[in-house]
């Protein structure tokens, strides 16, 4: 394994500048919604010079899994750290998420090399220290089951892993993208240059999911210096910074999102490049931060911005797929039948085999849905606001097909099947929505159990 590229050119910065595509992608416009405050971003790289004038107060923790000293002698990690989180302080450059909390996870040695065991240890450290985003500007040329297991653990723990696809360009008949970008739990990043054209060095293949600016990127270097470089390594922290902005916005509104949901929203709102549709050169296309934020606001607006009045519960219900398309008066009728409930971390919400038919709309917290197998419990899903659970037994009172456990303190709206069934009979679209949800859930559960 190795860092995707070295720093190539030093420059003198005489006044604060936005650099590396911030204006091109309207990042400063998004700062009125979020600057990434409180979001914990790990820089999996060669270390970070936290004494840099543009990173002062930005680094909130550090760890070193290489045999070399902790300092960033190679410079690669400090450059990536500045792209994510350089402060807006009248000096140097701006980061994409200038108020996020950075964590230096040194897994690249002073010669630019790395090893899978170092990265695995770094991912487990990130889980233990509750990081939110991992910016991994490293590529390896072989699949490793232990590394994939570590990526899966991080993904399940709620960490969004953003990884460089690599700088091997295009070779006919060869997937030149690297690991861990090729794992489905990661967001694999390719690079674009001038005019949003794919950079000639950007790898192609299964590890390319999204494209971001990756040429002539100005950022921080150790010793209060600045430099320009290129590569998918520099595109990766740009994407990690955008993810930090999104998480900062959601959390400021009292919500959150799983890594899988963030992946889906990122891909769905990318700008298509090259061959129409998903392709091996540009994946889903160019990252579109403004479109992503607009999609987040549409998806969560009714849930997170409900006014403090009698229609609050009805507006929350309107964000639930089960009740999609219902008129406001019907949502009010359902809201009148809802109750509130709470569970502490570790408490069981319901058990597999229970017969009580009740819908749970998650207002706060995180829930693990699990199914017993001969080899132990398998986690089928994690439910976050504004998710629902309990639909499978809601209409007919059939036994629960899985158990639900609170992973942290949770608050719900609950609705009994007895209260909903008469309303559903009058509005067939509820049952149609129900069938769609159940079908999707069963496919997902089947895939989990098969895996």
* Marked catalytic residue, from 233, 368, 393, 403: 233
Q: Where are the beta strands (DSSP E) in 214-279?
A: 217-221, 225-229
Contact 395, 421 (CB under 8 A): yes
| Residue 346: count of CB within 10 angstroms of its CB | 10
Q: Where are the alpha helices (DSSP H) in 92-231?
A: 116-128, 145-156
The packing angle between helices 232-252 and 289-304, to 10°, is 20
Contact 393, 445 (CB under 8 A): no
* Marked catalytic residue, from 52, 76, 79, 94: 76
| Residue 141: count of CB within 10 angstroms of its CB | 12
Determine the Cα–Cα distance for residues 406 and 396; give it in Å rounded to an integer.
Answer: 25
Give me 297's structure tokens. 């606001």
| Polymer length in residues for the chain | 451
Is there a catalytic annotation at residue 233?
A: yes
Residue-by-residue DSSP string for 208-265: --EEEE-SSEEEEETTTEEEEE-SHHHHHHHHHHHHHHHHHHHHHTT----HHHHHHH
Non-local (6+) Cβ contacts of 190 within 8 A are: 165, 198, 199, 202, 203, 204, 208, 210, 211, 212, 214, 232, 235, 281, 282, 283
Is there a catalytic annotation at residue 177?
A: no
Q: For residue 401, which of 374, 380, 431 has the smallest C-alpha distance?
A: 380
Is there a catalytic annotation at residue 45?
A: yes
* Marked catalytic residue, from 2, 20, 34, 45: 45
Contact 190, 235 (CB under 8 A): yes
Q: How far is CA 61 from CA 41, 42, 64, 300, 365, in A?
A: 10, 9, 11, 32, 26
Determine the Cα–Cα distance for residues 265 and 299; give it in Å rounded to an integer.
Answer: 10
User: Locate tokens 């706060």: which residue?
Assistant: 364
Q: How far is CA 395 from CA 45, 204, 339, 356, in A?
A: 51, 48, 18, 11
Task: Please provide residue 120's backbone torsions phi and psi, each rounded to the nearest 5 degrees.
Answer: -60, -45
Determine the Cα–Cα distance for residues 116 and 107; give it in Å rounded to an integer.
Answer: 9
Q: Which residues are marked as active site?
A: 45, 76, 233
């Amino acid at each position: 394994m190795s860092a995707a590229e070295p720093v190539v050119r030093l420059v003198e910065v005489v006044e604060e500048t936005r650099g590396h595509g911030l204006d091109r992608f309207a990042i400063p416009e998004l700062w009125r919604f979020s600057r990434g405050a409180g979001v914990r971003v790990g820089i999996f790289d060669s270390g970070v010079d936290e004494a840099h004038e543009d990173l002062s107060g930005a680094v909130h923790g550090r760890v070193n899994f290489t045999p070399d000293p902790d300092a960033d002698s190679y410079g690669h990690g400090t450059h990536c750290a500045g792209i994510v989180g350089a402060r807006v302080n009248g000096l140097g450059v701006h980061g994409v998420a200038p108020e996020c909390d950075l964590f230096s996870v040194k897994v690249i040695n002073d010669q630019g090399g790395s090893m899978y065991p170092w990265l695995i240890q770094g991912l487990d450290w990130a889980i233990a220290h509750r990081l939110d985003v991992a910016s991994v500007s490293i590529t390896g040329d072989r699949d490793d089951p232990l590394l994939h297991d570590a990526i899966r653990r991080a993904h399940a723990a709620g960490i969004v892993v953003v990884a460089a696809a690599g700088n091997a360009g295009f070779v006919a008949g060869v997937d030149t993208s690297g690991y861990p970008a090729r794992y489905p739990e990661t967001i694999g990043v390719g690079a674009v240059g001038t005019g949003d054209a794919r950079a000639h060095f950007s790898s192609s293949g299964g590890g390319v999911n999204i494209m971001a600016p990756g040429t002539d990127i100005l950022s921080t270097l150790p010793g209060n210096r600045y430099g320009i470089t290129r590569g998918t390594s520099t595109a990766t922290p740009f994407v990690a910074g955008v993810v930090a902005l999104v998480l900062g916005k959601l959390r400021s509104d009292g919500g959150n999102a799983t890594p899988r949901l963030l992946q889906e929203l990122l891909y769905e709102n990318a700008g298509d490049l090259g061959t129409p549709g998903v392709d091996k050169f540009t994946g889903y296309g160019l990252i579109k931060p403004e479109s992503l934020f607009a999609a987040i606001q549409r998806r969560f607006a009714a849930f997170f911005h409900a006014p403090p009045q009698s229609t609050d519960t009805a507006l929350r219900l309107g964000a639930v797929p089960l009740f999609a398309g219902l008129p406001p008066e019907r949502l009010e009728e359902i809201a009148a039948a809802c109750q509130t409930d709470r569970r502490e971390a570790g408490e069981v919400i319901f058990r597999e085999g229970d017969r009580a038919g009740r819908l749970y709309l998650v207002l706060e917290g995180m829930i693990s849905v699990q199914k017993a197998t001969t080899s132990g419990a398998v986690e089928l899903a994690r439910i976050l606001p504004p998710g629902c659970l309990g639909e499978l037994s809601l209409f007919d009172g059939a036994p629960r097909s899985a158990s639900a456990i609170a992973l942290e303190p949770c608050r719900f709206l609950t609705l009994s099947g007895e209260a909903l069934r008469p309303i559903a009979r009058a509005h067939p679209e509820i049952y149609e929505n129900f069938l769609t949800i159940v079908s999707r859930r069963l496919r997902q559960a089947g895939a989990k159990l098969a895996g």
